[in-house]
Amino acid sequence: MKVLVAIKRVVDFAVKIRVKADHSGVETDHVKMSINPFDEIAIEEAIRLKEKGIAGEIVVVSIGPQATQETIRHALALGADRGIHVEIEEPPEPLTVAKILKAITNREQPQLLMLGKQAIDDDCNQVAQMVSALLDWPQATFVSCLTIENGRCQAAREVDGGLETLIMALPAVVSADLRLNTPRYPTLPNIMKSKQKPLEQLSASSLGIHAVPHTKILQVTEPVSRRSGVKVSSWEEFIPILKKVMSCAF
């Protein structure tokens, strides 16, 4: 079974985000970048499937500028077999990403497409659902437990009322939640081996995809700083404040 894992290069989760002076976006120059944490969980799950003898090959695909190849190499060091880089300079919209993943999926013919439930930079949570619709494949999103047996996929996902278990026929699309697993760290031997693993570079146009944006970011601003609280000496003093807050809320 072949597993295709889609990953995204984002600002590392431990980095303090800084907005550009012209408010056109977020500073990425000289900033540590890494694999989107949810995508890293998807890679780990694919590697575990391979260690169990369920998956035979793991292919990672990422969309972005030339520097994205560093992120793919990291995924190869974790245990993926080969990588595909679709070069796009401007950040693509979720629908464009879904169309590219559909084209790659049709080309690679995997039995399982895995990715993180969302990216920590835009928090869109749209790509898995969109690519599932484009491929007409069953989907399981926010998966916290995954079992594959006899050509079927059983996925447990958290919902408002508790846990929901889905059973789907392969091929299928699965998006990983935080509780699915704990990703491993790459070892030095695997980091060295990753430099020799194949990494194919493509363009969106070669896949028949034209990355035309349909939305425009007008302004990016930092969150408004939280105002300091007020101390009261008695509940009598607190009641008028509470009434004022409640009246503003409704």
State how far the Cα of 202 lies from the Cα of 225, in Å rounded to an integer.
43
Let me know if residue 242 belongs to a domain.
no
Let me know if residue 76 belongs to a domain.
yes
Let me know if residue 237 belongs to a domain.
no
Rg (the chain; Cα; Å): 21
SS3 of 217, please? coil
Let me know if residue 158 belongs to a domain.
yes
Let me know if residue 195 belongs to a domain.
yes
Number of structural domains, the chain?
1
pTM over 0.75: yes
Of the given ranges (33-47, 78-92, 209-223), which has the lowest mean pLDDT? Answer: 209-223
Let me know if residue 228 belongs to a domain.
no
Let me know if residue 233 belongs to a domain.
no
From its phi and psi, is residue 144 left (phi > 0), alpha (psi between -120 and 50) or beta?
Answer: alpha
* Residues paired with 168 in a beta bridge: 153
Let me know if residue 232 belongs to a domain.
no
* Residues paired with 2 in a beta bridge: 57
DSSP, residue by residue, 69-90: HHHHHHHHHHT-SEEEEEE-SS
Percent of the chain surpassing pLDDT 70: 99
Q: Which two tokens stand for residue 124?
A: 């869109």
pLDDT tens per residue across span 43-74: 999 999 999 999 999 999 999 999 899 999 99
The residue to which tokens 């570079």 are assigned: 201
Q: What is the CATH number of the domain that holds 218?
A: 3.40.50.620
Q: Which two tokens stand for residue 100?
A: 């590219």
Average per-residue pLDDT for the chain? 90
Q: Which domain holds residue 46?
A: 2-223
DSSP H helical ranges for the chain: 37-51, 68-78, 94-108, 127-135, 188-194, 235-249
Say yes or no to pLDDT of 250 above 60. no
What one-character DSSP code corresponds to residue 206? G
